[in-house]
Amino acid sequence: MNRNRYIAVLFYASWCPFSKRCKPNFSTLSSLFPTIIHFAFEESNVKPSTLSRYGVHGFPTLFLFNSTMRVRYRGSRTVKSLSTFYSDVSGIRSLASYSFNLEIIGDLQNLENKTVDNVEHEFCPFSWAKSPENLFREETYLALAIAFLLMRILYFLLPKLLACAKKAWSRHVHNATLMSLLDNPHAYIDRSNLQGGAMNAKAWASKSLASVSIGEPSTSRTLSGNDRR
């Protein structure tokens, strides 16, 4: 590659709103800088290993290459800012017929951006910025792996959780019984006294019956002796 030959490469994603804003500006830059070769690659058409090799962790991502260097653009995605970046890195100025219109183009781009729904964060990660439907469709294996991992964790933790819940419930019942006893000690004492009295009465009745049974033969023998006399 010629050292003075520059190539601009844009990685974008169709689901990313910032890519939708940047892609038209990238096409405009190809007209403003015809000596710079422009390539745009959509995320679904690029291997993950390629994205990883170039350090692409979000979209859109723009690089400017030549045979000796690679410069990544970080900044506003307006035509004016991108043109300044091109000129600063490559030293190439835009076509004279467009140079006086850069400010107008930038103003038009800002006006267009206002019509697009605002997004709180500009960073669009590969997975979590997508809708759940896209995540499940494009990364099915990852979703299934996460679901399997969660089920395994639940399988191992559920018996322990049930045992802890059972122990906590037993402790709660025990504490509730103690609290009930402390709140009504007189009723417990009265019931104990009644039970003790009933047992004492039963024992006294048993002793009385035994005494009567023992005393009856003596009385009979006494009466028999008196009759003989």
As a whole number of angstroms, the distance between CA 119 and CA 44 comes to 22
Q: With the CA atoms of 92, 96, 102 and 103 taken in that order, what torsion angle do they form, in degrees rounded to the nearest 10? A: 120
Angle between helices 102-114 and 17-32 (to 10 degrees): 160
Quick one: how many helices (H) and strands (E) in the chain? 8, 4
pLDDT for the residue 19: 86
Q: Are strands 61-65 and 7-12 parallel, antiparallel or unpaired?
A: antiparallel
DSSP string, 46-68: S-HHHHHHTT--SSSEEEEE-SS
pLDDT for the residue 8: 92
- Going residue by residue through the chain (229 aa), what tens digit of pLDDT does each one get? 456 789 999 999 988 888 888 888 898 888 888 889 999 999 888 888 888 888 888 889 999 988 888 899 988 888 888 888 988 888 888 774 454 455 555 555 555 555 444 443 444 444 444 444 555 555 676 777 888 888 888 888 888 888 888 888 888 888 777 777 666 655 555 555 555 555 665 666 665 555 555 555 554 555 455 554 5
Angle between helices 79-90 and 17-32 (to 10 degrees): 50
* DSSP 3-state of 91: coil
pLDDT for the residue 9: 92
pLDDT for the residue 63: 92
As a whole number of angstroms, the distance between CA 93 and CA 107 comes to 20
Q: Which of 205, 179, 175, 184 is nearest to 192 (CA)?
A: 184
Pairs from 162-165 (Cβ < 8 Å, separation ≥ 24): none
Q: Does domain 7-138 fall into CATH 3.40.30.10?
A: yes
pLDDT for the residue 125: 47
pLDDT for the residue 62: 92
